[in-house]
Amino acid sequence: MAYVIGDACVACGACEANCPVGAISMGDGKFEIDPDKCIDCGSCAGGCPVGTIQQG
């Protein structure tokens, strides 16, 4: 199950920088994770300073 970024995203870009497969990109006011590219490694969640990334 892919990770998802919640509404508390502050658009800092830490998650995008931590994603080893490039599954994260800027969406409408916050970053978004492409579920087809996500490999469920959790690197993005571990690097999120506000803890808004969780497994969906």
- Structural domain spans, the chain: 3-55
pLDDT score at 25: 98
- Please state the rounded mean pLDDT for residues 21-46: 96
Is it the case that residue 17 has pLDDT exceeding 90? yes
d(CA 1, CA 13): 22
Please name the CATH architecture into which domain 3-55 falls: 2-Layer Sandwich (3.30)
CA atoms within 13 A on the CB side of 12: 14
Cα separations in angstroms, 5 against 9, 29, 43: 7, 12, 13
- Please state the rounded mean pLDDT for residues 24-31: 96
pTM: 0.91
Is it the case that residue 1 has pLDDT exceeding 90? no
